């Protein structure tokens, strides 16, 4: 059974800001699923619709078997939600935050106290349980946010960019906590992220999102395997032109040639053999090369392949 089913969601802000353009995907029960895409791709809008904080302009969705439009109260009872902005009370202790969350969810006092203790231990916060949250580190506050979303034992947990704003060490620690959480709680998790490594590490399946729609979906390893060979990235001394792309396209054994800004991308069977030919052809045609790299397929390459744009560029542009 699918825990989340999304079909053709649409959302427009104002007259011409189309945040969602037919968003469609499904998540089986018990799976960690990643919505992966650059900033502004529509990930957070999708989550806000699924947790009943905003309404779509079109399309349908069910969460934990409940229709989003007809049964919003049932959806709210079945989910946990951890938004990008922290919802903890900085002037209360970690334990007090969790107990309050449990009572708001209608839990009995004994169950609330027991569950709070379980989560403080699960997220390695037991030593800080009675300290004010304003004394917590950024990583500790974020772990408390996730714990609050789990207090009432939801069927589906929504994590919207859970590691945004954390330093690399705290982000890696959070990844470890989320991996343990997925194994310990046995619930369905929808994770939105613009960190490629985060999706690769945590999600069993990902839907890569661009400009309000899913462009490809599958297990991260399977998506990377589908891109055979290696990716050659050429940094040019000036903006990549159609002429440079045509020079490389004419070489034997070259596939998927794309030019973006000052970079040229080409997929080849053997990078070590293809690079000398690419450099020679570009030099002979008068295109200076500043640097060249060869890499095995990554989720960044998957995004490039299916959208024709570089993930980093879209992320910086907020697309």
Token pair 């802000």: residue? 13
The pLDDT of 208-232, averaged and rounded, is: 94
Q: Is the pLDDT of residue 1 over 90?
A: no
Q: How far apart are CA 176 and CA 202, in angstroms?
A: 9
| 274, two tokens | 């293809």
Q: What are phi and psi of 291, to 5 degrees?
A: -165, 160
Q: Is the pLDDT of residue 261 over 90?
A: no
β-strand pairing of 263-268 with 254-260: antiparallel
Helices and strands, number each (H, E), in the chain? 12, 14
Ordered by where they begin, the domains of the chain are: 2-219 (3.40.50.300), 228-296 (3.30.70.2470)
Phi-psi region of 256 (alpha: psi -120 to 50; beta: other; left: phi over 0): left
Question: CA Rg, the chain, in Å?
Answer: 23
The mean pLDDT value of the chain amounts to: 92
Kindly give, in sequence order, each residue whose CB lies less than 8 Å from that of residue 76, ignoring residues fewer than 6 positions away.
51, 52
pLDDT tens digit string along 135-192?
Answer: 999 999 999 999 999 999 999 999 999 998 888 888 888 888 888 887 777 799 999 9
For CA atoms 278, 308, 34, 226, the dihedral sign is negative
pLDDT at residue 240, rounded to an integer: 62
| 163, two tokens | 């590691």
* Weakest mean pLDDT among 8-12, 112-116, 287-291: 287-291
Q: DSSP readout, 56-82?
A: -SEEEEEETTEETTT-HHHHHHHEEEE
The pLDDT of 256-268, averaged and rounded, is: 88
Q: How far apart are CA 153 and CA 107, in angstroms?
A: 10
The pLDDT of 7-31, averaged and rounded, is: 94
| 132, two tokens | 């004010």
| 284, two tokens | 């002979």
Q: How far apart are CA 206 and CA 299, in angstroms?
A: 10
pLDDT grade for 79, boundaries at 50, 70 and 90? very high
Kindly give, in sequence order, each residue whose CB lies less than 8 Å from that of residue 316, ignoring residues fewer than 6 positions away.
none
Look at the chain and count its residues: 319
């Amino acid at each position: 059974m699918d825990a989340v089913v999304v079909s053709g969601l649409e959302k427009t802000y104002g007259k011409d800001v189309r945040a969602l353009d037919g968003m469609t995907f499904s998540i089986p029960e018990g799976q960690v699923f990643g919505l992966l895409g650059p900033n502004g791709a529509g990930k957070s809008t999708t989550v806000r619709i699924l947790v009943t904080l905003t309404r779509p302009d079109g399309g349908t969705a069910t969460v934990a078997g409940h229709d989003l439009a007809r049964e919003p109260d049932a959806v709210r009872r079945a989910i946990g939600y951890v938004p990008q902005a922290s919802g903890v009370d900085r002037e209360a202790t970690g334990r007090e935050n969790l107990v309050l969350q449990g009572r708001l969810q209608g839990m009995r006092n004994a169950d609330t106290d027991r569950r709070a203790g379980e989560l403080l231990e699960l997220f390695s916060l037991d030593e800080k349980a009675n300290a004010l949250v304003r004394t917590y580190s950024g990583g500790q506050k974020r772990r408390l946010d996730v714990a609050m979303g789990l207090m009432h034992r939801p069927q589906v947990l929504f994590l919207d960019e859970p590691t945004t704003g954390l330093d690399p060490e705290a982000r890696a620690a959070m990844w470890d906590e989320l991996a343990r959480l997925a194994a310990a709680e046995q619930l369905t998790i929808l994770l939105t992220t613009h960190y490629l490594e985060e999706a690769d590490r945590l999600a069993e399946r990902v839907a890569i999102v661009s400009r309000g729609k899913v462009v490809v979906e599958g297990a991260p390893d399977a998506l990377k395997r589908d891109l055979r060979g290696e990716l050659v990235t050429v940094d040019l001394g000036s903006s990549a032109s159609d002429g440079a792309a045509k020079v490389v396209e004419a070489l034997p054994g070259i596939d998927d040639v794309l030019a973006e800004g000052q970079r040229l991308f080409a997929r080849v069977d053997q990078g070590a053999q293809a690079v000398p030919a690419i450099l020679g052809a570009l030099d002979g045609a008068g295109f200076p090369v500043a640097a060249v790299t060869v890499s095995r397929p990554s989720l960044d390459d998957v995004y490039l392949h299916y959208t024709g744009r570089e993930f980093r560029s879209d992320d910086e542009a907020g697309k």
